[in-house]
């Protein structure tokens, strides 16, 4: 019995001697927790602050890696982004944002200047559309969803600028279906707008390809595929909005007809894709031209055959970039768009507008939750409740 006890005692001593304490993973722990932990395991901790794009006060790194034998540790904590980077990148989140207005994308040769299919450039060739996308990308623009822009969610990297793409009229060349694959999925014509966009999605993964399509009663005018198209789009990062049932001119109809024109489209979209459409109306012909028009309130809210709707934003047929969602001038209920066409750099075509943007474009700090702008722009900031920094 005594012998057995001695063996146990020796084993106990040995296991105590071998017992090592290993470093814990501190990456998701609070500073308070880290201090208590180090105190408990008998090591010292030194906190060092460092510039970083992780939020201020958050953990960056630990000198003793998790799972290693425990030792005195240095923990690096973020003191936010180096303000010199804002200066170097000309960060200005009160600058302007281009919302591009497209209609048809045609796989034909251009009849007019710079890839315009029609005289006024509402219709573009597929190759001109590719050139446009290359131009936006190489000039430092990254796409954001229209609904995110409207809601002030602008998630593009430091030094880059947001751009929004829209398509009106639900033309079949926006997303031309050429058949179904073995799984019943739509096969998209690579020269239709979405075909080109999907090609750019694989070519430039950081472009954040997206667009919002504004449809009429005929949806995408491909009867057998319309429902599949709507579902495919909302499941692949695109959005669908309202362009009125019959492409109505709201300055020429009464209020009941206005409610029908808007409400019937929302109701139809809801029956096909549930709540996955956006409550945004692209005004046909850009009409009415001001918000004081009697029909504007019927565009913004109403009830059609028991279906209640509310519109967040309307889009005009504008000519220039709209404002930052954080600017005093921003009015999300009545937004301006740029007609995406080519006119040798004059009359507010793409080139003309992007030249104008050089002096006042929105340039991101890379953090969607922090609004950064130069100090001399502070009087233009519309929401001091948001986390912000001026330099
Ligand atoms: Zn239209």
How would you write the pLDDT of the chain (391 residues) with one tens digit per residue? 556 555 555 444 444 445 789 999 999 999 999 999 999 999 999 999 999 988 888 999 999 999 999 999 999 999 988 999 999 999 999 999 999 999 999 999 887 877 788 888 889 999 999 999 999 999 999 999 999 999 999 999 999 999 999 999 999 999 999 999 999 999 999 999 999 999 999 999 999 999 999 999 999 999 999 999 999 999 999 999 999 999 999 999 999 999 999 999 999 999 999 999 999 999 999 999 999 999 999 999 999 999 999 999 999 998 999 999 999 999 999 999 999 999 889 999 999 999 999 999 999 999 999 999 999 999 999 999 999 999 9
Q: Please list, in sequence order, all residues whose beta carbon lies within 8 angstroms of the beta carbon of residue 69, skipping any fewer than 6 positions away.
A: 20, 21, 22, 23
Q: How far is the CA of 214 from the centre of ligand 1 (A)?
A: 8
Task: Evaluate if pTM is beyond 0.75.
Answer: yes
Q: How far is the CA of 169 from the centre of ligand 1 (A)?
A: 5
Question: Could you tell me how many residues make up the chain?
Answer: 391
Q: How far is the CA of 167 from the centre of ligand 1 (A)?
A: 9
Alpha-helix runs per DSSP H in 154-224:
193-203
Domains of the chain: 18-80 (3.30.10.20), 86-390 (3.20.20.370)
User: 171 with 103: CB under 8 angstroms?
Assistant: yes
Torsion angle in degrees (nearest 10) through CA of 25, 31, 36, 42: 60
Q: How far is the CA of 219 from the centre of ligand 1 (A)?
A: 12
Neighbours of ion ligand 1 (CB under 5 A): 168-169, 284
Q: How far is the CA of 284 from the centre of ligand 1 (A)?
A: 5
Q: How far is the CA of 348 from the centre of ligand 1 (A)?
A: 19
Q: How far is the CA of 171 from the centre of ligand 1 (A)?
A: 10
Q: How far is the CA of 168 from the centre of ligand 1 (A)?
A: 5
Q: How far is the CA of 122 from the centre of ligand 1 (A)?
A: 10
Q: How far is the CA of 246 from the centre of ligand 1 (A)?
A: 10
Helix (H) or strand (E) holding 301: strand 301-304
């Amino acid at each position: 019995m005594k012998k057995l006890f001695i063996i146990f005692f020796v084993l106990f001593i040995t296991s105590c001697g071998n017992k090592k304490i290993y470093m814990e993973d501190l990456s998701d722990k609070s500073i308070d927790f880290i201090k208590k932990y180090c105190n408990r395991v008998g090591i010292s901790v030194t906190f060092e602050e460092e510039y970083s794009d992780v939020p201020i006060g958050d953990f960056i790194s630990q000198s003793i890696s998790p799972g290693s034998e425990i030792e005195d540790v240095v923990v690096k904590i973020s003191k936010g982004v180096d303000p010199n980077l804002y200066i170097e990148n000309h960060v200005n989140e009160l600058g302007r944002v281009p919302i591009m207005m497209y209609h048809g994308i045609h796989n034909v040769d251009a009849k007019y200047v710079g890839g315009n299919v029609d005289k006024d450039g509402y219709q573009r060739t597929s190759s001109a559309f590719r050139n446009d996308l290359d131009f936006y990308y190489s000039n430092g623009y990254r796409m954001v969803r229209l609904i995110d822009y409207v809601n002030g969610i602008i998630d593009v990297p430091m030094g880059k600028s947001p751009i929004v793409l829209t398509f009106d009229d639900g033309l079949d060349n926006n997303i031309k279906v050429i058949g179904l694959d073995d799984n019943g999925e739509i096969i998209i014509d690579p020269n239709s707008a979405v075909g080109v966009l999907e090609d750019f999605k694989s070519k430039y993964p950081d472009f954040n390809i997206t667009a919002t399509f504004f449809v009429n009663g005929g949806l995408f005018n491909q009867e057998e595929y319309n429902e599949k198209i709507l579902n495919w789009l909302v499941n692949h990062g695109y959005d669908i909005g309202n362009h009125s049932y019959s492409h109505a001119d709201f300055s020429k109809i009464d209020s009941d007809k206005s409610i029908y024109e808007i409400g019937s489209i929302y109701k139809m979209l809801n029956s096909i894709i549930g709540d996955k459409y956006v409550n945004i109306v692209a005004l046909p012909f850009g009409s009415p031209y001001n918000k004081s028009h009697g029909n504007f309130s019927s565009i913004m809210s109403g009830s059609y055959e028991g279906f209640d709707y509310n519109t967040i934003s309307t889009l005009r047929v504008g000519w220039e970039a709209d404002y930052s969602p954080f600017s005093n001038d921003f009015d999300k209920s009545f937004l301006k768009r740029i007609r995406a066409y080519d006119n040798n750099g004059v009359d507010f075509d793409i080139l003309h507008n992007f030249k104008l943007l050089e002096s006042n474009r929105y340039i991101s700090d890379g953090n969607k939750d922090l609004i950064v702008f130069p100090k001399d722009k502070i009087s233009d900031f519309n929401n001091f409740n948001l986390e912000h920094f001026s330099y």
